């Protein structure tokens, strides 16, 4: 049997998350009883207990002895308790899995958004902590050996990245995975969570009804499917602390307390669909979308203000919760606020390492953010406080006053973005789309991007491609910014007329 582990604030949260119960010394040292929450974190200095908690969590989550699993005390605070008296139900969940076409997968597999991670299919169900959940599936799916059940949407492990060096405000590892390799599988999680069926994206097409019992209903709005009446009925009957709102392009996993205030989910998801659509337009993402992106909020993530992935993870803080489902704030200038963060992380998911040259990992994702501000908000100048006209002018003046230095350029993402801003202003977004398409076309004959034998070759190809799609020789421009480029490239690009911004010819500070 495959091991899936190897394959792979308090504000506006449910009232249950705010409960406080003074712990005894005994429970504080017992991983199975320790209570970790926002107002009672497990400190970074308590290394022995943290190691024990991580070990206990992993061992318990991997256990197949579902009868022995009890609700962990910390689950009351996060992800939260199911409302008392909420009935468990049995539900048949229809799932339709579609394998991406080979021509599409050739492009998708190169992207940064973890395209080969197992696809999560939402069920609209929530597993209470310690509750036994039964999943029934057809024999042929069990025999396939490619399906898993997942309990919980908060997949970040706090033992990793910067969270491993920070105080923990929740248990560090709270998601349960189990193989669906029999027609009847029983599982239980000490933490509970939203229930998903997972399948490798490249598995052949299949459709099936999967029966799940022992869970409670959780709100699940699907744009174009769920009616207003059905949504209101879901909210009224929900006892789950989390739910989801979805389109074909993105699914948001958010606290029920946010969903209860959401009277017009269609308006919110129309905007999110437009956001994803805009970024996919710049990234020339193959349509139709083979699966929606995912974004989940969490009281603590493994690192960063947000981070990309499947799902994208964001902090469950006031800024996020007041923006994520608020159509009035999603599309407004934010000077680097939450919506810039969303656009930035979605951009990360659409980056192709083939065209990420040294120093641009945190730069080219912002092409997508600027595109959203241009196309959806209509004004990029309020996009980020570091990209105002004054900041860009001062940054350019300082950089060129001491002489262009590629090593310094690589260390300053906003300096690098300022340079690309010049290209965009001169040639428009269509040049960036053509640039990305050219790399996609190359994959037909060079699927593993063998041209990038080293960073020098990769950088030369980058400049060559921008020159070819614009029909101008951009070598002088990139060299003016300090880029080291090969002699062969310089000679070849002389077939195009040279380009450099007019003001850079006489005063780069203008």
Q: What is the mean pLDDT of residues 157-181?
A: 97
Q: Which of 265, 202, 256, 206 is nearest to 230 (CA)?
A: 265
Pair type for strands 293-298 and 250-255:
parallel
Residue 416 lies in a domain: yes
Tell me if the bond preceding 391 is cis, omega within 30° of 0.
no
Q: Could you give the count of Cα atoms lying within 13 Å of 112 in the half-sphere of its Cβ?
A: 21
Residue 211 above 70 pLDDT? yes
DSSP secondary-structure letter at 498? Answer: B
Residues 374 and 450 in one domain: yes
Q: Could you give the count of Cα atoms lying within 13 Å of 298 in the half-sphere of its Cβ?
A: 31
Residues 297 and 250 in one domain: yes
Average model confidence (pLDDT) for the chain? 92
Write the pLDDT tens digit of every residue in 103-148: 999 999 999 999 999 999 999 999 999 999 999 999 999 999 999 9
Residue 503 above 60 pLDDT? yes
**For the chain, what percent of residues have pLDDT higher than 90?**
84
Domain count, the chain: 2
Residues 276 and 152 in one domain: yes
Residues 300 and 387 in one domain: no
Residues 235 and 382 in one domain: no
- Residue 250 host element (H or E): strand 250-255
Residues 289 and 367 in one domain: no
Helices then strands, each counted (H, E), the chain: 18, 14
119's tokens: 């696809």
> Residue 382's domain spans which residues?
360-504
Final residue in a domain of this structure, among 312, 330, 348: 330
Residue 337 lies in a domain: no
pLDDT at 23: 47
DSSP secondary-structure letter at 400? Answer: H
Residues 366 and 319 in one domain: no
**For the chain, what percent of residues have pLDDT higher than 70?**
93
β strands within 98-223, DSSP E: 119-127, 133-136, 147-151, 176-179, 184-187, 193-199, 206-217, 220-222
Write the pLDDT tens digit of every residue in 409-447: 999 999 999 999 999 999 999 999 999 999 999 998 898
Residue 347 lies in a domain: no
* Alpha carbon 245 to its chain's center: 15
Residues 378 and 467 in one domain: yes
Residue 315 above 50 pLDDT? yes
Strand partners of residue 126:
194, 216
Residues 396 and 307 in one domain: no
Higher pLDDT, 506 or 133: 133
Residue 341 lies in a domain: no
Residue 121 lies in a domain: yes
Distance CA 107, CA 105 (A): 5
Residue 320 above 90 pLDDT? no
| Domain containing residue 314: CATH number | 2.60.120.1250
Residues 384 and 314 in one domain: no
- Please calculate the CA angle 493-498-502 and round it to the nearest 5 degrees: 150
Residues 261 and 394 in one domain: no
Residue 30 lies in a domain: no
| Domain containing residue 456: CATH number | 1.10.390.30
Residue 374 lies in a domain: yes
Distance CA 131, CA 181 (A): 21
Residue 37 lies in a domain: no
Residues 58 and 149 in one domain: yes
């Amino acid at each position: 049997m495959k091991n899936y582990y190897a394959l792979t604030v308090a504000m506006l949260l449910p009232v249950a998350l705010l409960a406080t119960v003074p712990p005894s010394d005994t429970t504080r040292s017992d991983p199975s009883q320790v209570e970790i929450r926002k107002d009672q974190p497990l400190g970074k200095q308590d290394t022995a207990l943290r190691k024990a908690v991580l070990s206990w969590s992993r061992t318990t989550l991997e256990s197949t002895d579902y009868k022995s699993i009890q609700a962990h005390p910390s689950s009351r605070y996060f992800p939260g308790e199911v409302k008392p008296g909420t009935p468990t139900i049995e539900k048949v969940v229809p799932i339709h899995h579609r394998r991406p076409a080979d021509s599409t997968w050739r492009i998708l597999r190169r992207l940064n958004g973890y395209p080969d991670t197992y696809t999560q299919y939402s069920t609209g169900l929530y597993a209470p902590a310690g509750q036994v959940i039964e999943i029934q599936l057809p024999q042929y799916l069990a025999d396939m050996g490619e399906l898993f059940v997942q309990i919980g949407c908060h997949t970040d492990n706090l033992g990793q990245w910067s969270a491993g060096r920070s105080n923990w405000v929740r248990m560090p590892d709270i998601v349960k995975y189990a193989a669906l390799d029999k027609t009847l599988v029983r599982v239980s999680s000490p933490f509970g969570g939203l229930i998903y069926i997972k399948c490798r994206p490249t598995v052949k097409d299949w459709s099936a009804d999967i029966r799940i019992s022992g869970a409670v209903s959780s709100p699940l709005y699907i744009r174009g499917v769920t009616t207003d009446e059905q949504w209101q009925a879901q909210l009224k009957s929900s006892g789950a602390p989390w739910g989801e709102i979805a389109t074909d392009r993105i699914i948001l996993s958010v606290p029920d307390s946010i969903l209860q205030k959401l009277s017009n989910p269609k308006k919110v998801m129309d905007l999110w669909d437009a956001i994803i659509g805009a970024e996919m337009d710049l990234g020339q993402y193959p349509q139709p979308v083979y699966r929606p992106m995912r974004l989940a909020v969490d009281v603590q993530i493994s690192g960063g203000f947000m981070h990309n992935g499947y799902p994208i993870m964001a902090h469950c803080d006031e800024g996020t919760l007041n923006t994520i489902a608020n159509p009035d704030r999603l599309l407004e200038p934010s000077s680097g606020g939450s919506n810039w963060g969303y656009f930035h992380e979605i951009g990360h998911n659409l980056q192709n390492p083939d065209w990420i040259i040294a120093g641009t990992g945190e730069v080219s994702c912002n092409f997508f953010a600027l595109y959203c501000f241009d196309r959806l908000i209509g004004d990029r100048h309020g996009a980020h406080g570091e990209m105002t006209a004054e900041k860009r002018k001062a940054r350019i003046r300082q950089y060129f006053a001491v002489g262009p230095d590629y090593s310094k350029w690589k260390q300053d993402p906003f300096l690098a973005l300022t340079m690309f801003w010049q290209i965009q202003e001169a040639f428009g977004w269509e040049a960036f789309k053509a640039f990305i398409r050219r790399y996609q076309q190359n994959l037909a004959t060079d699927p593993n991007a063998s041209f990038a034998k080293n960073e020098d070759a990769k950088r030369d190809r980058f400049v060559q491609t921008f020159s070819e799609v614009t029909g101008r020789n951009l070598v002088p421009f990139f060299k003016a910014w300090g880029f080291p480029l090969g002699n062969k490239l310089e000679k070849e690009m002389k077939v195009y007329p040279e380009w450099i911004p007019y003001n850079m010819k006489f005063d780069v500070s203008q």
